[in-house]
């Protein structure tokens, strides 16, 4: 699979790193200006530290990158974490960065778009934008890990959410509530 991963400036860099580690296939990375700050502040990493997990990185200010054209197909675009500012731009049709333009491409070409929102509480405006994007085909995934398996560590908590994202991409089946009873 060909997966594009966007990292924006909403808290939750650990989820992005774990997703890049666990996701198989060809991954293409775009990190916003504030996403770079987030990586540094939360994990002590630069975007270059993520290069071992991706096939190629593109600059968020490069609107001539191949991801900006619908003629270059990909299987999914996952923005993790997705700031509400990024979500608002996407919902408003603003494609002023490679991340927001790639989201526009995803919507118009009907490529899978997964927006992992990491903010709480959500304003009414943001909820309305989520609704409109969902109607347009985007998958809205607030970063909220399942608790029914009783995680014993933060790493398990993070991994459980990443597994849910991989499941949405049909790349992994995560354990469900009492799933052993279905076997």
Which residues have C-beta within 8 Å of that of residue 104, sequence separation ≥ 6?
90, 93, 95
> Greatest CA span in the chain, whole angstroms?
51
CA atoms of 142 and 38, how far apart (whole Å): 18
Across residues 4-10, what is the average pLDDT? 96
CA atoms of 75 and 110, how far apart (whole Å): 10
Q: Indicate the pLDDT class of residue 173, thresholds 50, 70 and 90.
A: low
Say what the pLDDT of residue 43 is.
Answer: 97
Count of Cβ atoms closer than 10 Å to residue 94 Cβ: 14
Kindly report which listed range (52-61, 124-133, 138-147) carries the lowest average pLDDT score: 138-147
The answer to whether the beta carbons of residues 132 and 90 sit under 8 Å apart is: no
> What is the per-residue pLDDT across 77-110, written as a single tens digit (0 to 9) for each?
999 999 999 999 999 999 999 999 999 999 999 9
Say what the pLDDT of residue 178 is.
Answer: 76
Q: Indicate the pLDDT class of residue 181, thresholds 50, 70 and 90.
A: confident
Rounded to the nearest integer, the mean pLDDT of the chain is 94
Say what the pLDDT of residue 84 is.
Answer: 97
Q: How many domains does the chain have?
A: 1
Q: Burial, 151: exposed, middle or buried (Cβ in 10 Å; 0-12, 13-18, 19+)?
A: middle
Say what the pLDDT of residue 175 is.
Answer: 67
Inter-CA distances, 9 with 67, 109, 165, 177, Å: 20, 26, 19, 32
Q: Indicate the pLDDT class of residue 21, thresholds 50, 70 and 90.
A: very high
Say what the pLDDT of residue 36 is.
Answer: 98
pLDDT at 122 > cutoff 70: yes
DSSP readout, 48-108? GGGGGG-SEEEETT-TTSGGGSTTS--SEEEEEEE-HHHHHHHHTT---SHHHHHHHHHHH
* Pair of tokens at residue 85: 């500012």
pLDDT at 139 > cutoff 70: yes
Domain that holds residue 63: 2-182
Write out the H or E segment, with its range, that includes residue 125. helix 124-135
The answer to whether the beta carbons of residues 67 and 98 sit under 8 Å apart is: yes
Say what the pLDDT of residue 182 is.
Answer: 77
Which CATH number goes with the domain that contains 141?
3.40.50.1950
């Amino acid at each position: 699979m060909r997966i594009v991963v966007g990292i924006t400036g909403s808290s939750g860099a650990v989820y992005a790193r774990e997703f890049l580690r666990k996701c198989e296939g060809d991954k293409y990375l775009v990190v916003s200006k504030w996403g770079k700050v987030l990586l540094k502040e939360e994990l002590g990493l630069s975007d270059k530290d993520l290069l071992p997990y991706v096939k190629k990185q593109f600059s968020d200010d490069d609107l001539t990158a191949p991801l900006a054209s619908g003629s270059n197909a990909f299987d999914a675009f996952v923005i993790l974490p997705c700031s509400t500012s990024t979500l608002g731009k996407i919902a408003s049709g603003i494609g002023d960065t490679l991340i927001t333009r790639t989201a526009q491409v995803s919507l118009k070409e009907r490529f899978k778009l997964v927006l992992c929102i990491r903010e709480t509480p959500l304003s009414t405006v943001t909820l309305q934008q989520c609704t409109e994007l969902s109607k347009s085909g985007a998958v809205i995934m607030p970063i909220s890990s399942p608790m029914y398996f009783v995680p014993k560590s933060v790493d398990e908590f993070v991994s459980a959410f990443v597994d849910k994202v991989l499941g949405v991409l049909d790349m992994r089946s995560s354990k469900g509530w009492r799933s052993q009873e279905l076997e």
